Amino acid sequence: MEFQEFQKHYKWLTEKRLEEAVDSHIEPHLKEAMLYSLMAGGKRIRPLLVFATVEALGKDAELALPAASALEMIHTYSLIHDDLPAMDNDDLRRGKPTSHKVFGEATAILTGDALLTLAFSEIANATELDEVKRLKIIQDLAKQAGALGMVGGQQADILGEKQELSLEQLASIHSRKTGALLCSAVFAGSIVGDATENERIKLQEFARNIGIAFQICDDILDVTGETDVLGKEAGTDVLLEKKYLSKFTYVRRCERSTRRTLLSSS
pLDDT given at position 260: 57
Q: Are 40 and 169 in contact (CB under 8 A)?
A: no
Q: How far apart are CA 224 and CA 218, in angstroms?
A: 10
Q: How far apart are CA 7 and CA 18, in angstroms?
A: 16
pLDDT given at position 99: 98
pLDDT over 90 percentage in the chain: 65
- Report which secondary-structure segment, H or E, holds 93: strand 92-93
Tens of pLDDT, residue by residue over 72-82, are: 999 999 999 99
189 vs 256, higher pLDDT:
189
Q: What is the mean pLDDT of residues 8-21?
A: 97
Q: What is the pTM of this model?
A: 0.84
pLDDT over 70 percentage in the chain: 83
Tens of pLDDT, residue by residue over 37-88, are: 999 988 999 999 999 999 999 999 999 999 999 999 999 999 999 999 999 9
Q: How far apart are CA 107 and CA 80, in angstroms?
A: 10
pLDDT given at position 55: 96
For 3-264, CATH number out of 2.60.120.260, 1.10.357.10, 1.10.600.10, 3.40.605.10 equals 1.10.600.10
**C-alpha 139: how far from its chain's center?**
18
Which sign, positive or negative, has the C-alpha torsion 164, 178, 149, 82? positive
227 vs 108, higher pLDDT:
108
Nearest to 248 by CA among 215, 218, 223: 223
Q: Judge whether residue 162 has pLDDT over 90.
A: no
2 vs 236, higher pLDDT:
2
**C-alpha 96: how far from its chain's center?**
18
Q: Judge whether residue 209 has pLDDT over 70.
A: yes
Q: What is the mean pLDDT of residues 163-173?
A: 82
